[in-house]
Amino acid sequence: MHPGSRIGSVYLCREPVDFRKSIGGLSALVEQELQMSLFGDALFVFVNRQRDKIKALYWHRNGFCLWYKRLEKQRFAWPVLDADQQTCRLSLQELEWLLEGFDLWAHQPHKTLHYAATT
């Protein structure tokens, strides 16, 4: 991302998109289909049908930034969401893991335990 940009939320868009879309088409998708604002501190991440390309769109001060990554081998892991969910929210750390090739949805972390006493 652009140095100095503040990304508060990362949203993965559930459905693959046509990668001929650029800033105009992707921003229209965010506003019209996802019903979300582009002008906050959010990063919107899109994948193609083959899941070997990712585009990330965000607003930085006075214009849109579009970031693109193409894998030469392998595919990006992508969540399977319910039909009523159009996006999946990630942290920046989880986005880094996704870009590095980790499948965030295949493995679950250790469960949090809540105890009232030790005896």
| pLDDT above 70 as % of the chain | 93
Q: Would you say residue 115 lies in a domain?
A: no
Closest Cα to residue 41, out of 61, 21, 27?
A: 61
Q: Would you say residue 110 lies in a domain?
A: no
What is the count of structural domains for the chain? Answer: 1
Q: Would you say residue 108 lies in a domain?
A: no
User: Judging by DSSP bridges, how do beta strands 63-70 and 42-47 pair with one another?
Assistant: unpaired
Q: Which domain holds residue 62?
A: 9-100
Helix (H, G, I), strand (E, B) or coil at 108: coil
Q: Would you say residue 59 lies in a domain?
A: yes
Here the contacts of 66-73 (C-beta below 8 Å, separation 24 or greater) are 66/22, 66/23, 66/26, 67/1, 69/99
Give the pLDDT score at 22: 96
pLDDT per position as a tens digit, 44-77: 999 999 999 999 999 998 999 999 999 999 999 8
- DSSP annotation of 21 reads -
Predicted TM-score of the model (pTM)? 0.82
Helix (H, G, I), strand (E, B) or coil at 78: coil
Q: Would you say residue 82 lies in a domain?
A: yes
Give the pLDDT score at 9: 92
Q: Would you say residue 27 lies in a domain?
A: yes
